[in-house]
Amino acid sequence: MIIVSIYGGLGNQMFQYACAKALALRLGVELELDISLVCDRTESENFTFRNYELDAFNIIDQIANINVVRKYVPNIYNASDLSKKLFKIKRFLTRKTFYYEKTKFQFENRINLINDNSLIFGYFQTEKYFLSIREELLKIFTLKEVIVNENRLILNDINKNNSVSIHIRRGDYLKLSYQELDIQNYYSKAIEIIREKVKNAVFYIFSDDQLWVEENFKQFDIEKVVIKNNIGKKSFMDLFLMSQCKYNICANSTFSWWGAWLNTYPDKIVIAPKKWFKEGEFEKCTYDLIPVDWLQI
């Protein structure tokens, strides 16, 4: 059995699941999901609480029993160094493995050494971990929920147009280490590239700051639709609608990364930011994050 720790927002959870699913299928073993970290509500400074969101999709893998998880690891967020050392001894005696991602945003070949009875922990943010099971994931990451009402109208519109998704993430990004994407140096260039390649493009704009979008996108002479109806627990619907667009302009966000990756239009064009982070620890280590056939600007 492979167990994967699920944490972070929806995009991160999808990366973790996809990597673990590919690993479990390669080994021919069951996969279980440890959701204890997204259920933990221990107060922590500068920490955004998340919920388990993968239940929006057609995932049949089981949730791991917490008692089984504790055979591999303590509560990772709150464990002392002594507790971690004792669990390391415990795993050695019980022949269990804890795989901890060492290098974020880059593929680690050592994952191919993992065997059965392992728990994996990390972000695993590159398709290199799961590209081999793309067709399987396209089936799994479909919605359980029937598309109705306003979303059905938007979807019909997307399907009949030369639809282009634009994702703009602000919110907590304004105080974190992510690069703020400039309206002129990124979005205007991306829009111009699409307009040069796509006739009669209609831009569907998805954001957690719709007032900012309304104000700042007035300058563009484009046909646009600002999606406003999917917030909170329904945000997964925005990711789905992005994936149904023929072309995608991503933010530096795993949310729109997955919207673009799940796009199956054969002639799709995906534009992503070359710089994902501000100056700092991860600024230059994201070269595995963006698929080779996407355009970076």
- For residue 115, what pLDDT is reported? 94
- For residue 235, what pLDDT is reported? 87
- For residue 223, what pLDDT is reported? 94
Minimal CA–CA distance to 247: which of 167, 146, 152, 143?
167
Q: Where are the domains of the chain?
A: 2-138, 148-296
- For residue 174, what pLDDT is reported? 47
Q: What is the pLDDT of residues 73-103, one digit of tens each?
A: 988 777 788 888 888 888 988 899 999 999 8
Minimal CA–CA distance to 18: which of 142, 144, 140, 145?
140
CB 49 within 8 A of CB 41: yes
Positions of the chain with pLDDT lower than 70, given as ranges: 41-48, 171-180, 278-285
Q: Which residue has the tokens 């997964």?
A: 236
Fold of the domain spanning 148-296: Rossmann fold (3.40.50)
Token digits of residue 36: 């204890």
- For residue 2, what pLDDT is reported? 98
Q: Which amino acid is at 262?
A: L
- For residue 285, what pLDDT is reported? 64
Q: What pTM does this model have?
A: 0.92
- For residue 78, what pLDDT is reported? 76
C-alpha 91/C-alpha 238 separation (Å) is 41
- For residue 132, what pLDDT is reported? 97
